[in-house]
Amino acid sequence: MMPADPSLPRARAGEQLLVHTDMLTGLGNRYRLRDRVRLLAEERAEDPAPFAIGITNLDGFKPINDLFGSEAGDEILRQVALRLQACIPDGAAVTRHGGDEFAFVLPLVFERLGAEKFGQMVKDVLAAPYDLGDRSVRLSASFGFAIHPFAGEGFEPLLKSAETALYRSKRRGRGQVTVYTREIAQEMQHATLLEQALRNAIINDAVDVHFQPIVNLKNETVLGFEALARWIDPELGFVSPAVFVPLAEERGFIDTLSETLLRKAAEAALSWPRETFLSFNLSSAQLTDPATASSILAILGRIGFDPHRLVLEITETAVVTSADTAHCIIAELRRAGVRIALDDFGTGQSSLGRLRDFAFDKVKIDRAFVSRLASDPASEHIVRAIVAMCEGLQLQVVAEGIEEVTEVKILKALGCSIGQGYFYGRPADSAATLAYLKERNVELAAAD
């Protein structure tokens, strides 16, 4: 009988280690996470003290990876792994869940407040700049936590609960921390039903575009229209764009929705006077996708819509998300003749810095200031300062949300020459928009 080979157990142990290890970061992988959770649940079966698992996902990692290359992306992931290993408490474990997602097992976190405190601490750690040699980048992270056994007793149910909490964080915005509850699960279930209905609506071309006039305040002539998404579902009824647009962004099909809406809006605008512009909103996700500019210009080309007639509205938050990519997208669009407006000015952070760093053509004053012009001296001073600053920078200023004649008089006195709001017209479909133009004796474009 041959003697047993003493190297076999070591070889099997080595194979097992490889199976449970993420080769890029050296952390454990999903299998290690599963085994750790199962073992911990078995140990506490008789005395079921709670424990927590969590998942974190880097916000905006894909565009960074696309912009700087996979080697830079891999380096960021390695640095993330080192930071996470350095900040987890004794007895806890961190694994790489896949892609830019990492997971935690926290044996000594028993309840929601403990999970939230841990998540906030790790969020701050991950927010510090990442060194890529000749440059540095910043990323935020979103978190989802689930407490055993309340959020699930087995590994898969517990993991699913943590993923549900993570989805909720993504919906609330970047850099959020969410701990699973049944209420959150119900909310996410509703969001999933809404998502399916919206996908079907896009396929069936059932999401419509309405248009709100933008006018010259001095003589009330129509300068252009802002395109606004509208969706009325047969079962759900009217669904606010404040609900379904962020949902499309979160679930990864905002590009399809936006392309559909831009096509419809540009087709409708072909019937307007040729000097009338179309204003269209870009989402945060589109400003992190390097293909956005070419996609927009291709749509305009197919329709035959002059890029010089298009104004794209972007928010400061969208620009901050991925500044380098956004800068490239804006530059490419402006070279083609598209004008860029900074929307909701005054409500974000470092607005003056954005005006310095990006080439904008227009600034839209947020309605929060316009609506308080008659009652709040501070708002009047802010609007006066914005108008004066933009005049010096040779930027057009558009006041949003005008509803009262008093607001019009104050804005004109402050030097603001362009505005929109219910005072001049509510959003209307393409047919009603044409009728609106005809009523004002505007000569429409001749059909080709």
The pLDDT-based confidence of 237 (bands split at 50, 70, 90) is very high
- Taking only the tens place, the pLDDT of each residue in 410-426 is 999 999 999 999 999 99
Percent of the chain with pLDDT over 70: 90
Alpha-carbon gap, residue 90 to 362, rounded angstroms:
53
Instruction: State yes or no: pLDDT of 447 exceeds 90.
Output: no
Is residue 5 scored above 80 in pLDDT?
A: no
Torsion, CA 54, CA 60, CA 66, CA 70, rounded to 10: -30
Q: What is the pLDDT of residue 431?
A: 95
Give the span between the Cα atoms of 340 and 331, in whole angstroms. 10
Token code pair at residue 406:
């008093």
**Which CATH superfamily groups domain 192-439?**
EAL domain (3.20.20.450)
pLDDT in tens, 349-369: 545 666 666 778 999 998 889
Distance separating alpha carbons of residues 369 and 399, to the nearest angstrom: 9
Residue with tokens 């003290």: 49
Q: Say what the pLDDT of residue 177 is.
A: 95
What does the pLDDT read at residue 442? 63
pLDDT, averaged across the chain = 88
> Phi and psi dihedrals of 42, rounded to 5?
-65, -40
Concatenated DSSP letters for 267-297? HHHTTS-TT-EEEEEPPTTGGG-TTHHHHHH
Rounded Cα distance, 296 and 278, in Å? 13
Query: Residue 296: phi, psi to the nearest 5?
Result: -65, -45
Same fold yes or no, 17-180 and 192-439: no
Cα dihedral 59→61→63→64 (10° resolution): 130
- Select the more confidently predicted residue: 102 or 9: 102
pLDDT in tens, 365-388: 988 899 989 888 998 999 999 999
Query: 46 with 34: CB under 8 angstroms?
Result: no
Distance in angstroms (rounded) separating the CA atoms of residues 432 and 427: 9
Predicted local distance difference test score (pLDDT) of residue 351:
53
Residue 352 has a pLDDT of 63
Tell me how many degrees the CA angle 349-353-357 measures, rounded to the nearest 5: 130
What pLDDT shows up at residue 174? 79
Q: Which letter, b or e, does each residue of 376-392 get, where b requires 16 or more Cβ atoms within 10 Å of its Cβ?
A: eeebbebbeebbeebee
Query: Which carries the bigger pLDDT value, residue 269 or residue 16?
Result: 269
| DSSP codes joined into one string, 207-274 | -EEEEEEEEETTT--EEEEEEEEEEEETTTEEE-HHHHHHHHHHTT-HHHHHHHHHHHHHHHHTTS-T
Is the pLDDT reported for residue 110 higher than 80? yes
Highest-scoring range by mean pLDDT, 17-21, 54-58, 131-135, 346-350: 54-58
Q: Per residue in 279-325, pLDDT tens?
A: 999 988 888 888 999 999 999 999 999 999 999 999 877 776 667 78
* Domain 17-180: CATH architecture, name and number where available: 2-Layer Sandwich (3.30)
pLDDT of 7 strictly over 60: no
Buried b (16+ CB within 10 A) or exposed e, 244-273: bbbbbbbbebbbebbbbbbbbbbebbbbbe
**For the chain, what are the domain ranges?**
17-180, 192-439
Rounded to 5°, angle at Cα 168 from 165 and 172: 140
Mean pLDDT, residues 334-355 taken together = 77
pLDDT at 8 over 90: no
Q: Please give the single-letter amino acid code of residue 392.
A: G
Closest CA relative to residue 32, chosen from 88, 98, 80: 98
Strand ranges of the sheet holding 101-106, from the earlier edge strand across to the other edge: 93-98, 101-106, 51-59, 140-148, 177-179
Burial 407-440 (b: 16+ CB within 10 A, else e): bbebbeebebbbbbbebbbebbebeebbebbeee
Quote the pLDDT of residue 122. Answer: 96
More confident residue, 189 or 179: 179
d(C-alpha 281, C-alpha 314), whole Å:
6
Q: Which two tokens stand for residue 359?
A: 């080439």
Kindly tell me if the per-residue pLDDT of 249 is higher than 50.
yes
φ, ψ (nearest 5 deg) of residue 442: -90, 135
User: For residue 448, what pLDDT is reported?
Assistant: 43
Give CA–CA dist 262/141, Å, rounded: 31
